[in-house]
Amino acid sequence: MTAALRRPFDSLAVPNYRRYFAGQVVSLSGNWMQIVAEMWLILQLTGSGVAVGVATALQFAPLLLFGAYGGLLADRFDKRRLLMATQAAMLVPALALWALVATDAVETWMVMALVFLRGAGLAVDNPARQAFVIEMVGPDRVVNAVNLNSVLVHSARLIGPAVAGVVIATAGVGPCFALNAASFAAMLVALRRMDPAALARPRRAPREPGALRAAVRYVVATPALAVPLAMMALVGTLGLNFQVLLPLLARFTFDGGAHTYALLASAMAAGSLAGALVAGARGRVSTQLLIGACTAFGGFALLAAGSSSLAVATVALALVGAASVTFVAGVNSTLQLEVEPAMRGRVMALYSVVFLGSTPIGGPLVGWLAEVAGPRSGLLVAAVAALAAAVLAGVWNGRLERAVANPG
Instruction: Please tell me the number of Cα atoms within 13 Å of 326 on its side-chain side.
Output: 29
How large is the average pLDDT for residues 59-79?
87
Are 154 and 273 within 8 A, CB to CB? yes
CA distance 228 to 293: 12
Q: Write down the pLDDT at residue 250.
A: 83
CATH class as words, domain 210-408: mainly alpha
Residues 6+ apart with CB under 8 A from 232: 328, 331, 351, 354, 355
**For the chain, what percent of residues have pLDDT higher than 70?**
93
**In which band, very low, low, confident or very high, does the pLDDT at 1 lie, cut at 50, 70 and 90?**
very low
Q: What is the pLDDT, as a whole number, of residue 183?
A: 93
Looking at per-residue pLDDT, the higher value among 152 and 297 belongs to 297
**Residue 297 contacts residue 327 (beta carbons within 8 Å):** yes
Q: How many CB atoms lie within 10 A of CB 72?
A: 20
Statement: 11-195 belongs to CATH 3.40.50.150: no
Top pLDDT among 363 and 75 is at: 75
- DSSP secondary structure of 25-37: HHHHHHHHHHHHH
Banded model confidence at residue 50, pLDDT cuts 50, 70, 90: low
- Where in the chain are the domains? 11-195, 210-408
- Looking at residue 327, its pLDDT comes to 93
Q: Each residue of 120-132: pLDDT tens digit?
A: 999 999 889 888 9
Check pLDDT > 90 for residue 89.
yes
Query: What would the pLDDT profile of 327-340 be if each residue is shown by its tens digit?
Result: 988 898 888 888 88
Do the two domains 11-195 and 210-408 of this chain adopt the same fold? yes
Calculate mean pLDDT across residues 377-386. Answer: 94
Instruction: Calculate the average pLDDT of the chain.
Output: 86
* pLDDT confidence band for 49 (50 / 70 / 90): low
What's the pLDDT score for residue 233? 92
Higher pLDDT, 182 or 279: 182
Give the pLDDT of residue 155: 74
Check whether 189 has a pLDDT greater than 70: yes
Residue 368 has pLDDT above 90, yes or no: no
